[in-house]
């Protein structure tokens, strides 16, 4: 009988910031935001606030629009 508290089979689910699709963390590209731009964390080793995007060209291309929208929202707060 498996232990109910075990996380051995747990698969983390993350949401794409562009299309809002939910996928397994390993299926998405992770990145962080810096004042100089977007930095991809391809090895997924950085320990800071990360965002995720689908590996499709449409989602990756829409990141610049998402970043401008996010910056505009932060400026109004």
pLDDT score for 76 = 67
Q: Which residues pair with 14 in a beta bridge?
A: 23
| Total-model pTM | 0.78
Domains and their CATH numbers in the chain? 13-75 (3.30.1230.10)
Residues contacting residue 67 through CB under 8 Å, at least 6 positions apart: 33, 38
Q: How far apart are CA 53 and CA 31, in angstroms?
A: 8
pLDDT score for 77 = 62
pLDDT score for 13 = 96
Chunked in runs of 10, what are the mean pLDDT values of the chain (77 residues)?
A: 75 95 95 87 87 94 85 69
């Amino acid at each position: 009988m498996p232990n109910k508290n075990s996380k051995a089979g747990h698969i983390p689910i993350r949401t794409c910031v562009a299309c809002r699709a939910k996928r397994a963390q390993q299926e998405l590209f992770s990145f962080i935001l810096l004042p100089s731009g977007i930095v991809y964390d391809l090895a997924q080793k950085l320990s800071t606030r990360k965002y995720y995007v689908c590996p499709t060209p449409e989602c990756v291309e829409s990141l610049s629009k998402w970043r401008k929208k996010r910056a505009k929202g932060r400026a109004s707060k």
